[in-house]
Amino acid sequence: MRSFALAVIFAGVDQVLATRARCLVGDEEGTAQSWGLSRIAATSQPKASALPSEIAVDVHFHITSTTDYANLVTDEIIAAQWEILRDTYADYNITLTLVSTESIVDDLAGAGWLVFNGTAWNNYPEEQKAFFNSTRKGGYDDLNLYFFAPWSPGASGYCTFPTTVAGALPQPGDEAFYTDLCEISALSMPGVPADNATLDGYYYGHVAIHETGHWFGLNHTFAGGCNEPGDFVADTPATGIVYDCPAQSDTCPDVAGLDPIYNFMSYTNDTCTSEFTPGQKDRMFETFFSYRRISA
């Protein structure tokens, strides 16, 4: 689990939450770059046209907090986060249904299994695995979103790419099954009180949209930088990492197209991101029906 590596982010006990969101998903992870899906073009593909026209996914929210933050995430915040996540994916023929919401108060889990003991940061990977094994719900095609308060400095989220175990879908009991989920800082949820909204520009709920994109098989738009094959989607222009919302940004001037600053899979802020491309939609569909729910 990438969250185990959070300790490397810290310079000392005085470090606070990073002012820029940092997704811990590495674009080299899993089999995302070696699938037969490779570059899905923006135009229609024979494979894509043979797939179902809609994806329906059951979603489970796990609101996990330390004792001190137990009252941070209210029902109103949960509803606002759910609405923006559901409505965003509905625009791409992906129907999300929230089938369960649970609140867990656990000082170790709420801190992201990363605790400062006075001299060093300690993490607890075995406790983390046991927690997910006992709380993750549904099948491999169910989306489990864990919102942690306060979680850990220096990160906004992490989510798993789909994968296989011995060429088949992961099954209950497989580590790849019970660690298939998204971890998100609750401080990124819409409506979090201003004194807790320390992820500057990333507290309107778009972190959950971004991480869910990884769950559906999307890479960051800046994967590979200005070099091929980039994010394996043909209609997202090559780009470097871009923050804020700089109009006419072009970090790859020798490659056609301006930076995709409005794309949910970029690092621009929540007031900037607003779209996936047709090619990203195709990739989500091909990935889902190849690696999460095998299409007949």
Write out the catalytic residue numbers: 211
Largest CA distance in the chain: 58
- Residue found by looking up tokens 């494979």 in the block: 47
Which residues have C-beta within 8 Å of that of residue 39, sequence separation ≥ 6? 229, 232, 233, 234
- The terminus-to-terminus CA distance of the chain in angstroms comes to 31
Give the E-state strand segments of the chain in sequence order: 55-65, 94-105, 114-116, 121-123, 143-149, 157-159, 182-185
Q: Round to whole Å and give the CA distance between 97 and 131.
A: 24
150 cis-preceded (ω within 30 degrees of 0): yes
Helices and strands per DSSP (H, E), number in the chain = 7, 7
The CA-based angle 54-272-33, given to 5 degrees, is 55
Q: Which residue type occupies 164?
A: T
> What residues have CB less than 8 Å from 130, skipping those under 6 apart?
none
Cα distance between residue 158 and residue 24, in whole Å: 5
